[in-house]
Amino acid sequence: MIESNEINMLRLLIIGLTALVSLTACEGMSTINWDPAKNNPTSFRKDLKECQEDYPIQNSGVHAKQWIGCMN
């Protein structure tokens, strides 16, 4: 039978891995537009807003990957 200590360690491991995956996903989001003509804050915000409308937030987090693809 699994002891209470092992369960707590397993929970801590799961929380840590979840945090790591979340930080990695956020790191992939571009902060610049690769098109030099559109590389300004106004165009970037407009493009990001359009991507967010096309790919709404989902509980699974797949929307972040879709936004990154949309912005490239």
Sign of the Cα torsion 16, 58, 71, 42 reads negative
Number of domains in the chain: 1
- Confidence (pTM): 0.52
- Domain of residue 66, residue span: 4-71
Q: Which amino acid is at 32?
A: I
CA distance 11 to 4: 11
User: Which of the 8 DSSP states describes residue 28?
Assistant: T
* Predicted pLDDT of residue 50: 92
Q: Dig out the tokens for 32 from the structure.
A: 């610049």
| pLDDT for position 29 | 65
Provide the pLDDT for residue 61: 82
**1-55 confidence digits (pLDDT tens):** 567 888 888 888 998 888 777 666 556 666 777 778 878 888 888 888 999 999 9
